[in-house]
Structure 1
Amino acid sequence: MKKIKVLVASVAMATMLSTTAFAALPGYAIIIGDKAYDIGYISKNVKQLNDILNNSSQYTNIYYNDLSSNKIVNLFDPNTPVDMANFTPKNITYYNTDGSKTNYNLVGTSFEKDSQSSTAYAEVTVNSVGSTMYFVSVRVPNDNVVGKVDVRPNTLEPKYFKVYNNNSSDLIKKIGTPDTLKGESNDDYLLNLVTTDLNIKLQVLSSDKTLIATGTPVGQLQVGKNIVEFKLNNSFIPPTSNISNNNGLGNLNNNGLTSQQGDWTYYSNAGDGGGIYKTNGIQSYKICEDNAKFINVVGDWIYYSNYTDGQKIYKIRTDGTGRRIVCTDQASYVVVSGEYIYYSYHSGTGVGNIRKVNRDANKSPGTPITNDEAEFLIVSGDMIYFTNKYQGNAIYAVHTDGTYRTKVSSDSAKFITLANDKIYYITDTGQLKWTLKNGGSSGSTVVSNGNTGSNAVLYSMNITDDGKWMYYADASDGNKIYRAPLVDYLRISGDKYSDDYTNFINLVGDKVYYSKGNAMFIANQPKISPNKDSNGRAIYQYSSTAIVKPKQDLKIVSYDKVATPTKNAVGADLNNLEEYLPDKVTAVMSDNSVHELLVDWDLNPKKGSGAKGSSIQYTGTIVGYGAKVTLSLSMASEPIPAKSVKVINNAGLLDDKIYINVDDTGKPMDVKASLQVGDTIKVYRDPNKAELLGQDIIVPSVAGNLLSTTITLRKEKTLTDDAKYVYVTRTSPGVLESEPVQVEIKEALSGKPGFDSSKVNIAVTNYGKLPNGLTENDIVEIAPTTELQQGDIVNVYKLVDNVRVRIASQMVEYVPSPNPFDPIKFKATISIPAGYIEYKAGGDNKIYVTRSTQFAESDAIEASFGDGIALPLGQLVISGTAGNVLLRNQLDAQYDYYYKVNGPTPILGEDVSGWTKINDLNNPVLSVTDGQDVYVVQAYGGKALKCSHAKAIAP
């Protein structure tokens, strides 16, 4: 097997410049078992792959995808064709250059990308708002109708999604559909975005809101409803070593007491019961009361073993919120790497086997990797290194999936630490030794103390992240701390760093934390004393800073000792009630300030039977103060199924009806709510229950029929004509009100007043607008019609960014008739404020007219209007003798005047060369006859400004 190392390296080098990918498995991928590796990945991780290959005897054949022939070739026997029909395995996980993974399946004689994995489907509705703005609604149902979310080969469960583009928001919504039986709101699953950019991308997040993958849509979004497939890019890249979780390589094998994230250090304060603190060197905060060990900081989360709760694995946000149980196993040597948490499992009889649990698990046991009794875990890429108590504490290696198990060193080892591509460890006799990860070479280094020259006996040790320095406790000098350069010499010399006894050493930046029994200290940098010893050598002074429980400057004066749940426990799973517990409580402090204080809840309460009306009692501790809080979590009423409700929405202020279990025809619903006598049913306008529209109490039915109710909504409590949903709750006797269930209004709006366009004549007079802004109110006239009734109001609307906006209203006017047998008719003359309607070429040059009765409003009738006509000239009187008709009106000599019989009124600014000019403005005579409709236009420079008309009167 040693030749594998050479073969892998040679293939990697020979194909380094060949990166062309086929639709099938990318070229020159190395196939080892059920995994395939890109050349770029191999070049970055060739040592790790060699460790796997050289420590494994289970793979007698290794393959690669030959780019030149596009065939699978056996590395050990390249001249013999591979029988692809019988090739195993059939499914392969391919590692790209950056470490992201893709599934491939053997189809026929070649590997093809799994079309189902790394995909997500979303329902995207696009509405245009103006010419460049869009209103986009996105939901990811994760069902068999729209489509499934499949993030394989990632194992983190997709729980949330985000949408981003040039107008991104930080909103995070749930994947799936609302569970109405648990009272979930549709708003939790629907993301709305106002944007100018339809090039959206989808982000899929895990339960702790870690980004799993990012997807781009297949095809272009269109206005309307789109069912969109998103191709996911594997964005969650497992770290190549446990240092990526922001803990030192050696800290976790020194009880994991400290860790660093950015400017903040997180530590288990032995001076305060092991509670988790955070400090930036200036400020310190306590964020958790748990006795925490093996602290891992990953992104915004801290993972740790909670010694207060049987060493279960917990997680908490770095701000102290969101505290949850991840794994119920008794765990030590906890290491977070990539999607998983690896740990040594205890069964109550000591150190146990290695297990792993998904990082977003909830109160879950782990999955065994090996049955070896393991201590001192190192996770590096896909390999776990550990000491095996079954085998005399020898160092072993095992792949994270349980394969490739092999012995690395036979020495009895402890405090194993990975640095400089070697595993350093301490033997039973206190020697420092090392071995290559593949066990190929090993050696020992003598450690002597510089001040005495004597050989050190190492009790514990840790190595800096850069692999340059080793700190160790010397058992020959009372377990005092020394520091030595970690160089490739047979002997290295250490200098004393602390004159204090220590058990475990943790390194964070330039600080050295150490434990001494149940206390914790920071070893200060040694200082040179002004005095010298008898031989004239420098004398060093050593000091330490104790990590103690800080004294609180403020005390709690008052707080609500009984906390309020974040929401009603609607149909809650009794094993997952933490989401109802508040992270903080409000307290008044001794300086009269009001603070929000963190609470650590007992996450293992005594649970009731779970029957409706039962409650669960929680107790919590205010972090840093020890004050106790209680919370009684009552089970809320069972919600009403949305499909058991029918809504009849009548137009305007007409009464609306809400039917439950039996509809408006008396027919039972297909889905029935399990109503009980005494239940109170409430109907709300909104999901936040801000406005109660109506309610009813369930009473016994006549003759024992199905329990049902009809709730009538009246006056201002009626639904708006465009309402799409109502929200219904149930409150059973002695039980909390359920969360509102969203009920869609599926029936068409009824009860609208009639307004028949074939019986209504609408005339629109649209006056033009001069450059100086001069214009007149426009006129909408509805000719006398029987479609209008006494008390009606006529409304005029126009479109603004595709939304109808009302611009005027007018009460109708009775039209008297001398004929007593004529039907009663009404008309309306509506003045539209100047400029509210303007003609635009290619625009929506229409108005929309409706009729409103006392209760409701009709559908709209469209009426078009043309270019703006000349402004009104004023009242005209055209009279005189036949053939000698005078225009009796004061004419302005600044303008020219023209006339024409039967007009029409010209467009403002229109050329009036076709009209007859009136030359004598002092004695204007028009060649018209009696009864003719004469139009007179005022013009300037031959362009129409104003125009009016009148009937000529001549005897």
Structure 2
Amino acid sequence: MRRKNSMIILIGKRLLFFSVPLIAALYFVYEVIFGLDFSFSWMFASMYAAIIGLSTALNYRHMVIDESVESFEKLEAQISKGRWNVVEKEENRLVLRPKFDFPYNKLSKDVVEAEYSNGSVKMSGPHYYLDKLVKDIRGKGSIWTRRATSVITALLILILVSIPILGEMGMFWKIKMIRHNSFVKKVEEIEFKNTSKPGNSVVNTNNYGYGAEDGENIYYVEDHLNLIKADKDLKNRTYLIQKPSGSGINRLNIVDDWIYYMSGQSINRIKTDGTVNEIIYKQGYLLDINIEGGWIYFINFSDRFYIYRMDLNGRGLERFLDVESSDISIYNGRLYFSHEQKDEDKGSIESIGLDGSDRRIELEDYARDIVIDGSYMYFISDDYGLYRANMDDSSAPELLVGQKISSFTITDMGIFYSIHGEEVGYPGDGLYLIQKDGTGNQMYYETFSVEGLTKVGKWLLFHSFEDNQYLTLKRIDLDSGEIELID
């Protein structure tokens, strides 16, 4: 128990005397010297502390070892070569403190005790120091060996310290891009004809794109795993994808006779007749996938939430905008994006042409799930309230719903929305309806864990739990307002 407590104290001292100063020094290097554009991440601080803590547990555990030595004088001669300070000397006994291992040796005051008796020396102290002392006694701790060890240690520290710097420079993502470009050469290059229409509506994209439609059919996701094709009345259903488990299906978009969808960390495409299911991208999670004008636009989770795009065959992958975005949507040939303004602690909604020109500020506010309907912009702000702003004037946004909104969609009946559940947050509880001007707010359907609001044809689809806690898919007829379960 005493040794265990001693180890805990040792690790605590190591963290206090070494980890904290190191983290402070790294913060200074990253923020002040390099001026990197990110706040110091506690992820790196935790990583450094964990590595140092593990290293301490392994290398600085207290040990007692015996080593053969000719005499006490020989022992003293071997250790008096500039590597150790003799802090205490008695007959046949030495207490040593290392001159190396800066700065820990200056802060911790750890020592090694060496007691000679009958041709051997009994040494006790941290394993790391005992190992160095034994090499000195055996004559194996040459200056070249020590220099080589120092160089290797310095390189390891340099690599460790460089991790966030390389990440900020986008080096890891550049490696992923090289892998993607190599992979996508094997994907068949298809020539698309009808690229003038968006792959899905923005209101559906904001709600994870669980449904989309073309001129003849509706395509939607069931139980997160199955992709179904049906006619406009949601009849004559056919399973294009059906699986019992695995990565979910979401973010549907349709171009010509191809359905694009996301599954796990990949973008797939499948023909509308269920054939030729293939991957065109597999480099990480993406957000807000919008297809417009032959390009796939998305927020790249793997590269600091910057906005990327690539063509419909996965080629031409490029960073479209180096802004850490929380939301994107496309209207009338312009990409709208929301982000936090640098060093100003406030949000901004901007837009830019799809050719990368004419960037301008539309509204200074935090926003997600941006929807433009007529002359109004609807969005959820940082307080999770539902707002609308008149784009024709500069008046302040108008609060429509003051509760915390989980999701919403706009239909001809009005705005359907759900609110954050008390326990789960998202998905939301209850389905509510309010008019676009904020009047007539009402509970439309009492249910739980509402998600995937999807407007296709004359229907509004959504998943939710009933009292039996069984997830079911439902539809609202937007002409009659009737709700029914989809079997």
TM-score, normalised to structure 2, is 0.51
Deviation at 1:344, TM superposition (A): 1.0
Alignment of 1:746-761 (within 5 A): none
Q: State whether residues 434 and 442 of structure 1, in contact with CA within 8 Å, keep that contact through their aligned partners in structure 2.
A: no
Describe the superposition over 1:606-634 as per-residue Cα deviations: whole angstroms up to 9, x where unpaired: xxxxxxxxxxxxxxxxxxxxxxxxxxxxx
Q: CA deviation at 1:389?
A: 4.9
Residue 345 of structure 1 pairs with residue 297 of structure 2: no
1:463 maps to which of 410, 416, 423? 410
Q: 2:241 corresponds to which residue?
A: 288
How far has the Cα of 1:456 moved from its partner? 4.9
Asked whether the 8 Å contact 1:498–1:523 carries over to 2, the reply is no
- State whether structure 2 residue 479 is matched by structure 1 residue 521: no
Show structure 2 runs of 5+ residues with no match: 1-187, 423-427
Deviations 1:809-846 (A, max 9, x none): xxxxxxxxxxxxxxxxxxxxxxxxxxxxxxxxxxxxxx
Query: C-alpha displacement at 1:396, in angstroms?
Result: 2.2
After TM superposition, the structure 1 = structure 2 runs for residues 387-398 of structure 1, keeping only pairs within 5 Å, are 387-389=338-340, 394-398=348-352
Rounded to whole Å, the distance in 2 between the matches of 1:524 and 1:381 is: 29
Of 322, 332, 340, the residue aligned with 1:381 is 332
Contact 2:406 2:420 (8 Å CA) reproduced:
yes
Rate the CA distance shift 1:409–1:279 in 2: closer, same or farther, 3 A. Answer: same
User: Does the C-alpha gap of structure 1 residues 237 and 510 become closer, same or farther in structure 2, counting only changes over 3 Å?
Assistant: closer
Match of 2:419 in 1: 474
Partner secondary structure for residue 387 of structure 1: strand
Contact 2:251–2:262, Cα closer than 8 Å, also in 1: yes
Change (3 A) 1:344 1:476: closer
Deviation of 1:305 after TM superposition, in Å, equals 1.6
Counterpart of 1:492 in structure 2 is: 439
After superposition, residues 343-492 of structure 1 pair within 5 angstroms as 343-347=298-302, 352-361=305-314, 364=315, 366-389=317-340, 394-436=348-390, 440-447=394-401, 456-464=403-411, 469-475=414-420, 479-487=429-437, 491-492=438-439
Paired residue secondary structure (1:479): strand
Cα 1:288/1:395, change in 2 over 3 Å: same
Provide Cα deviations, 1:205-251, integer angstroms capped at 9, x if missing partner.
x943423xxxxxxxxxxxxxxxxxxxxxxxx6634xx3xx3x23301
Structure 2 partner of 1:259: 212
Contact 1:394 1:410 in 2 (8 A): yes
The aligned amino acid for 1:469 is: G
Assess, with a 3 A threshold, how the Cα gap between structure 1 residues 298 and 442 changes in structure 2: closer, same or farther.
Answer: farther
Give 2:260's match in structure 1, choosing from 300, 303, 316.
303
Instruction: Flag the 1:287–1:427 CA change in 2: closer, same or farther, 3 A.
Output: same
CA 279–385 in structure 1, closer or farther in 2 if over 3 Å, else same? same
Q: Is the 8 A contact 1:396 1:406 kept in 2?
A: yes
- State how 1:601-680 maps to structure 2 within 5 Å: none
Compute the displacement of 1:474 (Å). 3.3
Q: Distance in 2 between matches of 1:337 and 1:326?
A: 17
Instruction: Indicate conservation of the 8 Å contact 1:497/1:523, yes or no.
Output: no
Equivalence for 2:172: none
**How far has the Cα of 1:482 moved from its partner?**
1.4
Alignment of 1:469-868 (within 5 A): 469-475=414-420, 479-487=429-437, 491-501=438-448, 502-516=450-464, 519=471, 521-524=473-476, 545=485
Q: How many residues align?
A: 279
Deviation at 1:523, TM superposition (A): 4.2
Alpha-carbon displacement from aligned partner over 1:265-291 (angstroms, at most 9, x marks no partner): 111222xx5231112222211112563
The structure that has the greater radius of gyration is 1
Q: C-alpha separation between the residues in 2 aligned to 1:358 and 1:237? A: 11
The answer to whether the 8 A contact 1:378-1:418 is kept is no
Q: Is the 8 A contact 1:369 1:400 kept in 2?
A: no
Partner of 2:20: none
* Secondary structure of the corresponding residue to residue 210 of structure 1: coil
Residues 306 and 313 in structure 1, CA contact (< 8 A), matched pair in contact too: yes
Structure 2 CA distance for aligned equivalents of residues 495 and 524 of structure 1: 16
Q: Select 1:238's aligned residue among 178, 183, 196.
A: 196
| Alpha carbons 2:390, 2:397 under 8 Å: kept | no
CA–CA distance in structure 1, aligned partners of residues 226 and 392 of structure 2: 39
Q: 1:250 aligns to what SS in structure 2?
A: helix
Residue matched to 2:225 = 274
- Residue in structure 2 matched with residue 319 of structure 1 by the alignment: 273
Superposition deviation, residue 415 in structure 1? 1.7
Offset, 1:261: 1.7
Give the letter aligned to residue 521 of structure 1: L
Q: 1:325 to 1:421 in 2, by over 3 A?
A: farther
Letter of the 2:351 counterpart? A
Conserved in 2, the CA contact under 8 Å of 1:384 and 1:400?
yes
Deviation at 1:520, TM superposition (A): 5.1
| Distance in structure 1 (CA, Å) of the matches to 2:393 and 2:250 | 30
- 1:423-474 CA distances to partner (integer Å, 9 max, x unpaired)? 2112233433223558845531434xxxxxxx6543321112x6x6211113
1:77-122 CA distances to partner (integer Å, 9 max, x unpaired)? xxxxxxxxxxxxxxxxxxxxxxxxxxxxxxxxxxxxxxxxxxxxxx
AA of the residue aligned to 2:298: Y
Q: Secondary structure at the match of 1:492?
A: coil
Q: Percent identity?
A: 19
Match of 2:181 in 1: none
Q: 1:237 to 1:300 in 2, by over 3 A?
A: closer
* Compared CA separation, residues 403 and 249, structure 1 to 2 (3 A): same
- Paired letter, 2:441: G
* Structure-2 residue corresponding to 1:210: 192
Contact 1:345 1:354 in 2 (8 A): yes
TM superposition shift of 1:543: 6.1
Pair 1:334-2:294 in alignment: no
User: What is the distance in 1 between the residues matched to 2:486 and 2:252?
Assistant: 20
Structure 2 Cα separation of the partners of residues 285 and 459 of structure 1 = 31
In structure 2, how many angstroms separate the alpha carbons of the residues matched to 1:545 and 1:298? 29
Aligned amino acid, residue 435 of structure 2: P
Q: Aligned partners of 2:392 and 2:458: how far apart in 1?
A: 31
Structure 2 residue matching 1:493: 3-state secondary structure: coil
Rounded to whole Å, the distance in 1 between the matches of 2:341 and 2:239 is: 40
Over 3 Å counting, the alpha-carbon distance change for 1:338 and 1:441 in structure 2 is: farther
Whether the aligned pair in 1 keeps the contact of 2:219 and 2:227 (CA below 8 Å) is yes
Aligned partners of 1:457 and 1:474 also within 8 Å? yes
Aligned to 2:52: none
| Cα 1:332/1:475, change in 2 over 3 Å | closer
TM-score (norm 1): 0.27
Cα RMSD for the two superposed structures: 3.3
Give the structure 2 partner of residue 248 of structure 1. 201
Q: 1:269 to 1:375 in 2, by over 3 A?
A: farther
Give the residue type in structure 2 aligned to 1:486.
K
Distance 2:316 2:263 in 1: 15
Question: CA 1:238–1:469 in 2, change beyond 3 Å: closer, same or farther?
Answer: same
The one-letter code sitting in structure 2 at the alignment partner of 1:434 is R
Q: CA deviation at 1:377?
A: 1.9
Q: Structure 1 residues 323, 404: CA separation in 2 closer, same or farther (over 3 Å shift)? A: same
State the alpha-carbon separation in 2 of the partners of residues 513 and 357 from structure 1.
30
Q: Quick one: distance in 2 between partners of 1:353 and 1:438?
A: 29
Q: CA offset at residue 390 of structure 1?
A: 6.0
| Map of 1:129 onto structure 2 | none
Aligned letter for 1:511?
W
2:34 match: none
The letter of the residue matching 1:296 is N
Q: Which has the higher helix share?
A: 2
In structure 1, the residue matched to 2:74 is none
Structure 1 contact 329–345 (Cα < 8 Å) conserved: no
Match of 2:126 in 1: none
Segments of structure 1 that go 5 or more residues without pairing to the other structure are: 1-205, 212-235, 448-454, 529-539, 548-955
Hey, what's the Cα distance between the residues in 2 that align with 1:456 and 1:328? 37
